[in-house]
Each structure stands twice: as C-alpha cells, then as structure tokens.
C-alpha cells in the first residue's frame, strides 16, 4: 500500500477513534465549567444586616440540598440564648446563613459557597468594632466557612477567626477531589473538625492535616438513630454546645485549646 494511503488511513482512524468520540466530552466539560463558574449575584445571602458595635459574630452554613432549618437556625438560637461563660459580656451577633438557592447543586455548591463566604468575610472585616469570627459549616457549607476566613483575613489579618467543620465535603468544582483536605484549616487561628467515619462522602470521614479532628462516630446513641452518618456531626455539635464542652477560641483558656494536635483524629467517647 502506498505510503500516502497509509497516512490517510491513520488520520481517518485517529479522527474516528479519538477526536470525534472526544468532542461530546470536551463540550460537556466546557459547558459544566461555564455553569459552575458563571458570575452570580450573591448579595441576597451576603448582604445581611450587621449589628452595630459587635465584637464577636458566629455564623453557620448548611450543606448541599439542605436548609438552615435542619440544624443551623437551632445552633445560632442556642448560641444567642446560651453563650459560653467567657462570652457573657461580649457584644455579639449570631447569624444562620440560608444559601439554599446556591446549594441545591453538587456541581456549583462548593464554588458558590466559597464566593459567598469571601463576600461575607470581607464585609465583616470592614466592621471596626469586630474582634473575632466563629464560622461553622456542614458538608458543602465547609466552603462557605473557608471563604469567610479567607475573605476576612485578606482585609484584616488581625481578626481572630475560628473555623469549624462538620463532616466537610472535600470536592471542589466537581473535579478537585482533595481540595478541601488540602485547604480546610489553612486559614484560621483555630480550626476544629467533627467527623463520622461511617460516612462515604470524600473528606467527611477522615482526619484533616491542618485541622484538629474529632471522631464522634461512637457517640451516636439509640435516641439519635434517625440521623444518618453525614448528618450526625451536626446533631453532636448541637448537643455538645449545650453542655459547653466544645473548644471555642475567643476569650478561651488557651491551655484547653493547645492540648489538641493537628492532623490526627481524637476519638471522643
């Protein structure tokens, strides 16, 4: 067979076997990227009223396909009515972040969540009276927490920021599977993480290298059997906050905070 015919056949083979079958994948990937990173107006979530003269603010963000009513509203109400003793005389605000309109899709919740967090963090950093932030996030809400910290610290590095992760999802933008594992805890003066090892969501069942991780799997009792593994850490956190047995950084006894070690999981019993 002449050489030019062999080359022509090879080119045809390449087009039919490699190029043409790959076109739908490329177009789908491109379309998904545009959808994920398309500019959105997050002001309905980020532009909440900030109280005057606040020194300390707590914020919590629910996860993917969830609502603030499932645990976040309850937590913030609890923080309002039963603050830790060291916070008794502190002017504080407690805010439950309802970002349901942007957390319905597993494809955009991480990117949208982080952008929402950055907007919130930058706004808070502009409040002259504010001294400390405590942000708590479950599942994909972990990216809201990360964004709050990064946004706040980019404007005012002196702000004290505690980031708390409850069974956090690690996948960012649908393709970066270890993003959360690598980034959670890198921003913040203290970061704690509560996991259920029975969970199968990436990042939600393991110790994180930059965070103080607490394994709460064995603490689930019969009375809490209705909570699946991915939801149990939120209920544990609520129960533990009621007894003031969780690490809260602002105005705390640093000896209590410094007893923990990053990277490993403390098995709570």
Residue 70 has a pLDDT of: 95
Strand (E) or helix (H) holding 125: helix 109-125
Strand (E) or helix (H) holding 37: helix 20-37
Residue 176 has a pLDDT of: 78
Residue 174 has a pLDDT of: 72
CA–CA separation, 177 and 184 (whole Å): 13
Residue 111 has a pLDDT of: 92
Residue 62 has a pLDDT of: 97
Predicted TM-score (pTM) of this structure: 0.84
Residue with tokens 């850490």: 233
3-state secondary structure of 57: strand
Residue 105 has a pLDDT of: 79
Of 197, 212, 67, 69, the closest CA to residue 141 belongs to 67
CA–CA separation, 1 and 51 (whole Å): 82
Q: Quick check: 92 and 124 in contact, CB under 8 A?
A: no
Residue 225 has a pLDDT of: 85
Strand (E) or helix (H) holding 194: strand 190-195
The token pair that represents 155 in the structure block: 């404007």
Please list the residues that pair with 189 across neighbouring strands: none
Query: Mean pLDDT by 10-residue block, N- to C-terminus, for the chain (269 residues)?
Result: 52 49 44 55 93 96 95 97 90 96 85 96 97 97 98 97 95 83 94 92 85 90 87 94 90 73 58
CA–CA separation, 39 and 257 (whole Å): 39
What is 54-267's CATH superfamily? Alpha/Beta hydrolase fold, catalytic domain (3.40.50.1820)
**Domain map (residue ranges) of the chain:** 54-267
């Amino acid at each position: 067979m002449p050489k030019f015919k062999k080359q022509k056949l090879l080119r045809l083979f390449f087009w039919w076997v490699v190029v043409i079958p790959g076109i739908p994948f490329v177009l789908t990937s491109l379309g998904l990227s545009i959808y994920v990173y398309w500019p959105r107006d997050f002001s309905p979530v980020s532009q909440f009223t900030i109280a005057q003269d606040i020194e300390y603010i707590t914020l919590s963000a629910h996860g993917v396909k969830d609502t603030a009513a499932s645990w976040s509203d309850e937590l913030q109400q609890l923080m309002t009515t039963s603050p830790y003793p060291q916070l008794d005389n502190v002017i504080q605000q407690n805010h439950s972040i309802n970002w349901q309109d942007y957390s319905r899709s597993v494809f955009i919740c991480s990117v949208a969540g982080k952008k929402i967090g950055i907007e919130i963090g930058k706004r808070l950093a502009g409040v002259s009276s504010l001294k400390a932030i405590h942000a708590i996030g479950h599942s994909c809400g972990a990216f809201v927490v990360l964004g709050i910290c990064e946004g706040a610290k980019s404007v005012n590095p002196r702000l004290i920021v505690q980031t708390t992760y409850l069974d956090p999802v690690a996948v960012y933008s649908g393709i970066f599977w270890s993003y959360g594992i690598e980034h959670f805890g890198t921003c913040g003066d203290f970061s704690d993480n509560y996991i259920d090892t029975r969970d199968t969501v990436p990042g939600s069942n393991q110790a994180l290298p930059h965070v103080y991780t607490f394994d709460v799997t064995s603490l689930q009792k019969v009375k809490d059997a209705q909570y699946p593994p991915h939801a149990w850490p939120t209920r544990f956190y609520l129960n533990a906050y009621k007894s003031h047995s969780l690490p809260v950084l602002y105005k705390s006894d640093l000896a209590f905070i410094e007893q923990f070690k990053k990277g490993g999981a403390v098995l709570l019993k």
